[in-house]
Chain A
């Protein structure tokens, strides 16, 4: 069973309006590659010079920041809901 990936509105310009997709990616690097395959325009924009996901894009797995789960080392589980959200809000 694949993982469900939820995309923010900010991405829709590069995804023909799609707000979610299913993926069989095993980990974060695999997911970035999957996104690039599905939406080439998006793939070019979500990576920094080193090919990693840009630092302003946060990834949550079932409500938990993926960095608390091991980041790139985290292996997606069947049925995981993965949410990409640009880091936007904040306090003082």
Chain B
């Protein structure tokens, strides 16, 4: 990395500057801080060519990220496939569409969710600030990403999760040797506790005192979408929402690319997806307000189960300003969404991806997304972590004797079952 934009923390409300430090709240008006860049200084230096010459990972965009001087990344995080999804499109658009894409962070390395992106940036800063222990409050994916990447950087990790988290996500944290603390409460309880711990312990919590840096990692989803579309912006982005951060950062990334002259300016519509059982942001968008009322989460989409979303008001405002919309779907539709994406495009996503797929279908039916528009659906996590959601959906088939005749008979049996199912 030969060039990096100058960056610093600024208050999103009062605009006060705070330099660079592990801090998340303005001490004057108590509003969230955000990393701001001198993007104009990168004009003509950060080019399509300079980016293409970088590694096949988020680090190809390092000049546009808050990466401390001297940090040498060695993990190939991100740069996940953007795949055309004609078979999914055939199922959700009348007449199909050649313009539907899936941004597949189900295969983001190293821990199979988009959280690897944000953690990579947070931990780069944790090292620079001198933290020896890092941690997070997590609904699972963040726990996995923090635990794995902390090991890689020689940092200790203490991870706090809601006690009812999926077993796979707990195991996928413990295996890296992280200290895992299950809290008897929901994510919002865990979150609140972490903010108190961060006050008392000299730890770098990736989504608390390192949050402004951490959340910038989400911008890389936006950079990649634009680059992989051939340096063009899509018409629509459908994005899952928990805290409401990712959707805003994708927009921020698009804005920076426009400012740098790397893509043509375009008004992209942003669509937010939530599970009905935890839908504070979509409820606000549909009610035409930025006042996000907290909810008690009750959904199988645990990675989106944040009842009191920190960036909710900003996300609601931004979505409406772009001409987009937000929708939510019931848990049965979440499961159907997982199955639909797997059956059509060979992508097995977790419950959050089921939400996003099902909401995309709903938005198409509502006429908010059209077949002739380029639409990118953001899939943020891997289905292997939430297999519980599919319990009872597939029968355990009987074993067949290793004889050709038995096999043929078994196929007939399956086909006749299918006919019965179709007849029903």
Contacts and interface: CB of A to CB of B under 8 A. Distances in A.
A37 B30 CA distance: 19
Given A92-B241, A92-B246, A87 B28 contact: no
Contacts of B192: 58, 60, 83, 85
A86 B187 contact: no
A55 B309 CA distance: 12
Contacts of A92: 114-115, 218, 240-243, 245-246, 303-304, 352, 380
Contacts of A58: 192, 308
Interface in B41-72: none
A67 B293 contact: yes
A10 B207 CA distance: 16
Interface in B303-339: 303-304, 306, 308-311, 313
A57 to B, nearest CB: 6
Contacts of B187: 91
Contact of A88 (B211, B218, B294, B313): B211
B115 A88 contact: no
A83 to B, nearest CB: 8
Contacts, number: 102
Contacts of A22: none
Interface in A19-66: 45-46, 54-58, 60, 63, 65
B interface: dominant SS: loop
A interface: dominant SS: mixed
B30 A86 contact: yes
A90 B31 contact: no
B30 A10 contact: yes
B264 interface: no
Contacts of B205: 89
Q: Which among A45, A86, A90, A92 has the greatest number of chain B C-beta atoms within 10 A?
A: A92
A88 B32 contact: yes
Contacts of B311: 90
B224 interface: no
A54 B29 contact: yes
A89 B139 contact: no
Given A65-B188, A92-B115, 13 more contacts: A8-B199, A45-B28, A45-B29, A85-B195, A86-B32, A88-B25, A88-B32, A89-B194, A90-B191, A91-B187, A92-B240, A92-B246, A92-B352
Interface of A: 8-11, 13-14, 45-46, 54-58, 60, 63, 65, 67-68, 83, 85-92
Interface of B: 13, 24-25, 27-32, 114-115, 137-139, 142, 185, 187-189, 191-192, 194-196, 199, 205, 207-208, 211, 218, 240-246, 291, 293-294, 296, 303-304, 306, 308-311, 313, 352, 380
17 contacts: A45-B29, A45-B30, A54-B29, A54-B30, A56-B13, A67-B294, A68-B294, A86-B30, A86-B195, A88-B25, A89-B194, A89-B195, A90-B191, A90-B207, A90-B211, A90-B306, A91-B187
